[in-house]
Structures are given as C-alpha cells and as structure tokens.
Amino acid sequence: MSDETIAAQRATDPTSAVSEWDADFRPNLSTYLDDVLIETAVEYGRPLELPPKPVGYYKAFVDASGGGAHGDACTIAIAHKEDELFFVDLVRGTPGPFDRMW
C-alpha cells in the first residue's frame, strides 16, 4: 500500500487508520467482552478439535497474514450453531513471516 493511500485513509477515518495501520486496538472494541465472560465460555476439558456433526451448516473465519517481515500469523476457525449455542470446532494458525503465496 502506498504512503499516499495510507495518508488518505488516515485523513478520512483517523480512528480506523490507527487500528489498521498502527496495530493499536480500539478501546471501545477491545473491552467488548471482558476476560471473565470469555473464561466462562471456554470449556477446557474438551478436545481441541471437534468432529463434524450433521447440524445445519458450518462457517469458516479467516484472519490472513499481512505477510512481510512482521511475523503476522495466518489463522482459521471453523464453527457451528447448535441449540442456540455457538461452538468453535477448530482453530489453527501458522506463524509468519511468509515468503511465498499458497
């Protein structure tokens, strides 16, 4: 991304630009779910990967690495909804840096 493009995005939406380009979490979003709430939702005794079930459908969520020398990880999660509860069935990540396309 060119310096001019980044400067234009900073001028258009400074708050978003700090989050996107400076890797600074937004305070209004970083406190959305507190640690206690997250801890109560985690089931530590279950397997790390759940087998598929014949329920509705699954969705995949990807946070691709930006590449480069920063060592950004590429992650994927697969989840489903069952009886009004959400289950994350799988989470995998690959640490960067990445030196080739896949």
Q: What is the mean pLDDT of the chain?
A: 83
Distance CA 74, CA 97 (A): 9
pTM score of the predicted model: 0.60
| Residue 98 pLDDT grade (very low, low, confident, very high; cuts 50, 70, 90) | low
Beta bridge partners of 60: 78
Q: 78 by DSSP, 3-state: which?
A: strand
Continuous segment of H or E residues that includes residue 91 = strand 85-94
**Model confidence pLDDT, tens digit, residues 51-80:** 998 988 899 999 887 666 556 788 999 999
**Which residue spans within 43-84 are E strands per DSSP?**
58-63, 74-82
**Model confidence pLDDT, tens digit, residues 5-14:** 888 988 998 8
**Domain ranges in the chain?**
48-102
Backbone angles phi and psi of 65, in degrees to 5: -70, 145
